Amino acid sequence: MKNNGNPRIKTADKRLPQQEFVRKTPTGTEGLDEITRGGIPSGRNTLVCGGAGSGKTLFAMKYLCCGAFEYGEPGLCISFEENSEELAQNMASLGYDLSALEKKKVLAIDHVQIARHEFEETGEYDLSGLFVRIEHGIRSIGAKRLVLDTVEVLFTGLPNEAIVRSELRRLFRWLKEQGVTTIITAETGPRGSLTRHGLEEYVADCVILLDHRVSEQVSTRRLRIVKYRGSAHGTNEFPFLLDESGLSVVPITSVGLTHQASTDRVSSGIPGLDRMLGGKGFFRNSSILISGTAGTGKSSFAAHFANAAAERGERCLYFAFEESPSQILRNMRSVGLDLEQWMDRGLLRIEASRPTSTGLEGHLARMHRDISAFKPVIVVVDPITNLVSIGDSPAVKSMLTRLIDFLKMKNITAMFTNLTVKGMVEETSVGISSLMDTWILLREMDILVRDVSASAPERQRAIHLLKSRGMAHSRKMEPFEITDSGIHMLFLDGRQRNMAQGSESRWARKRAR
Amino acid sequence: MKKKRTSKSGGVRARSSRNGNGETKPSVKRADEPMEWELRLYVAGNTPNSIAAFSNLQQICEKHMGGRYRIEIVDLFENPQLARGDQIIAVPTLVRRLPTPIKKIIGDLSNTERVLVGLDLKPARSFAARR
């Protein structure tokens, strides 16, 4: 952590030792280093505990691989459970070639096999053999990072628990003198205890808990820093994702409101709407919410926005929670938008998934990853409403806060659509409008707009700019139509508006260009 | 090469020297006195446990193996790379390399009864079903 230059903080530093005094070793797990302000404590022991299948080994191995690849720090893995081949197979699925690292002498794996039935215990002993092996491993490659995965096997492997206990205590103390930063993994015990054998009593510097829980058939992985001696850290539960690209933690809004506000404008893709937005469109790097009842054209607005981005040569990532990519392409073709060409050119990507496919955090983590990989300038989420079906409102709001913060940090302009229920038009179902810079409401007008050429009156869709921070914008409710050549605003002149408000009148249609 | 000890050699100063490759030379049976027992005792330095283990082992061997044995002492401080081969974590560990199968006995060998069971010199009552 660097001091940000605030003089008040500086004086505090002089009096109190701050987290800057604990040297830290980055773990390579995305997001975790941010939460811990730099990583796990260097030269000390960190306990990573979690239930079966919570990703402990993966976490630990990622730590070693990251050290070897990115920081030039060789790593030693003392594996009590899996042998080198098994570990190599597991890590190959994440794109790490352990045997190549072993050949380069930046990684060593020592598989410690303990089979209780092989042992006959006949009196006093200690675990110096294990110490010797660790020390030898460290010396042979000059290891800076060490993983003991899962040291608790000793408890079941050796008959005398008292000896194992005292020897582990000695081991953890000894490790601190070896100049290595150690991760010790352990399985969580029953009834909420951190580890089955109380290892947390010995490893006191840093404890990280990996949790995997299922709520309403949706599984969510969470990570929490239980303890971090001598350092400030995020204490919340952070969602994390475990998939083919490894483990990534999604920090919530730890960074705060520090993003730069842009004065650049970006077109909505609809000239009439741009005109309503002070003639120039949305601010870049802002968040836009489009609310409306069913069938008011929310997705079409979003598609216009995406289309305009692609026309400018900007990348757009479209998260669809309701329709499949091909369905979106077909529907948008009917309003004159050929989105497929942008997909072919790599300017548009549609990521479709069912909201219920994973938990909110899973979605958030996935979106994080997709955004980091595709590096879009524009992001569309269509619609966010469906996410409500898998979480309660506060959870959805917190997830969106995190997402919006992340997008703003990345200078991405984001458009969200939101389905509202008739009768509560101005209440967005998740109360998220306060997070948004621009809020557009689409509604069915109560008035009748009659086409001069048509004989029957038609119900008219209308757009209303409820808010748009930092710009002069139209406050009028403007009717629009969706044709096979796209969305067109129908600006009414003063007389027409009066007539509209009189609601019995007829008016001519005027097409905005 | 590690110092090989026979039953006649006394003391437990685990002297050893490295030959560079750290491999154990396969034991060569002498024609006149066939080695039925090949034992290896792993220790880590000259600790009370090590000394106790060696003297206990000598006594047991003298009494039950009648000269047809060989004890090899491996000091892991001197030859740490050898810990991996026999999967040693606890010391002292006695490994019965011959006759097969390999057996491991951990501790200072003070419980003679259990050493004999572990070396298959005495049938285990409680473990009889397993053997």
Q: What pLDDT score was predicted for residue A429?
A: 52
Q: Which residues in B lie closer than 8 A to residue A131 (C-beta atoms)? A: 44
Model confidence at B35: pLDDT above 70: no
Model confidence at A261: pLDDT above 60: yes
Q: What pLDDT score was predicted for residue A466?
A: 84
Model confidence at A291: pLDDT above 90: no
Confidence of residue A511 (pLDDT cuts 50, 70, 90): very low
Model confidence at A425: pLDDT above 80: no
Q: Which residues in B lie closer than 8 A to residue A127 (C-beta atoms)? A: 89-91
Model confidence at A343: pLDDT above 60: yes
Q: What pLDDT score was predicted for residue A304?
A: 92
Contact A323, A331 (CB under 8 A): yes
Q: Which residues in B lie closer than 8 A to residue A125 (C-beta atoms)? A: 49, 90-93, 106-108
Lowest mean pLDDT among A224-233, A242-251, A260-269: A242-251
Mapped onto helix, strand or coil, the DSSP state of residue A467 is strand
Model confidence at B2: pLDDT above 50: no
Q: Where are the domains of chain A?
A: 18-249, 265-502
Lowest mean pLDDT among A198-207, A300-309, B46-55: A198-207
Q: What pLDDT score was predicted for residue A401?
A: 79
Confidence of residue A4 (pLDDT cuts 50, 70, 90): very low
Contacting B with CB below 8 Å, chain A residues are 110, 112-114, 117-133, 135-136, 154, 158
Model confidence at B42: pLDDT above 90: yes
- How many Cβ pairs closer than 8 A exist between chain A and B? 97
Which value does ipTM take for this structure?
0.73
* Interface list for B 18-47 with A (CB within 8 A): 42, 44-45, 47
Q: What pLDDT score was predicted for residue B10?
A: 37
Model confidence at A456: pLDDT above 60: no
Taking only the tens place, the pLDDT of each residue in A147-195 is 998 888 888 888 888 888 999 999 999 999 988 999 999 888 877 778 8
Model confidence at A100: pLDDT above 50: yes
Query: Which comes out higher in pLDDT, residue A464 or A248?
Result: A464
Lowest mean pLDDT among A191-200, B23-32, B109-118, B120-129: B23-32
Q: What pLDDT score was predicted for residue B7?
A: 40
The architecture (CATH level 2) of B36-118 comes to: 3-Layer(aba) Sandwich (3.40)
Confidence of residue A259 (pLDDT cuts 50, 70, 90): low
8 Å CB contact of A125 and B110: no
Q: Which residues in A lie closer than 8 A to residue B91 (C-beta atoms)? A: 125-129
Q: Which residues in A lie closer than 8 A to residue B87 (C-beta atoms)? A: 112-114
Sign, CA torsion A320/A322/A328/A334: negative
Tell me the pTM: 0.66
Model confidence at A274: pLDDT above 50: yes
8 Å CB contact of B93 and A136: no
Mean pLDDT, all residues of chain A:
79
Distance CA A375, CA A367 (A): 11
% of chain A surpassing 70 pLDDT: 81
B62 vs chain A: nearest CA distance in angstroms?
A: 18
B80 vs chain A: nearest CA distance in angstroms?
A: 6
CA atoms within 13 A on the CB side of B87: 17
Q: What pLDDT score was predicted for residue A170?
A: 92
Q: What pLDDT score was predicted for residue A503?
A: 40
Model confidence at A357: pLDDT above 90: no
CATH code that applies to domain A265-502: 3.40.50.300
Q: What pLDDT score was predicted for residue A471?
A: 83
Taking only the tens place, the pLDDT of each residue in A194-227 is 888 888 777 778 898 888 877 666 667 888 888 8
Sign, CA torsion A304/A308/A313/A314: negative
Distance CA B33, CA B39 (A): 16
Model confidence at A407: pLDDT above 50: yes
The architecture (CATH level 2) of A18-249 comes to: 3-Layer(aba) Sandwich (3.40)
Instruction: List the single best residue of B39, B74, B89, B94 to mutate versus A (max A Cβ within 10 A).
Output: B89
Confidence of residue A481 (pLDDT cuts 50, 70, 90): confident
Closest chain B residue by Cα to residue A114 = B87
Please compute the mean of the pLDDT values over residues B38-51 and round it to a whole number: 90
Closest chain A residue by Cα to residue B109 = A122
Please compute the mean of the pLDDT values over residues A472-493 and round it to a whole number: 81
**DSSP for A204-244?**
-SEEEEEEEEEETTEEEEEEEEEEETTS----SEEEEEEET
Q: Which of A363, A145, A123, A138 is nearest to A243 (CA)?
A: A363
8 Å CB contact of B90 and A124: no
Model confidence at A376: pLDDT above 90: yes
A24 vs chain B: nearest CA distance in angstroms?
A: 30
Confidence of residue A402 (pLDDT cuts 50, 70, 90): confident
Amino acid at A225: I
Q: Where are the domains of chain B?
A: 36-118
Local structure of residue B94 (DSSP, 8 states): E
Amino acid at A57: T
Q: What pLDDT score was predicted for residue A174?
A: 92
% of chain A surpassing 90 pLDDT: 17
Q: Do the domains A18-249 and A265-502 sit in the same CATH topology, yes or no?
A: yes
What tokens does A202 get? 């010995």
8 Å CB contact of A135 and B117: no
Q: Which residues in A lie closer than 8 A to residue B44 (C-beta atoms)? A: 126, 128-129, 131-132
Model confidence at A255: pLDDT above 60: no
8 Å CB contact of A130 and B104: no
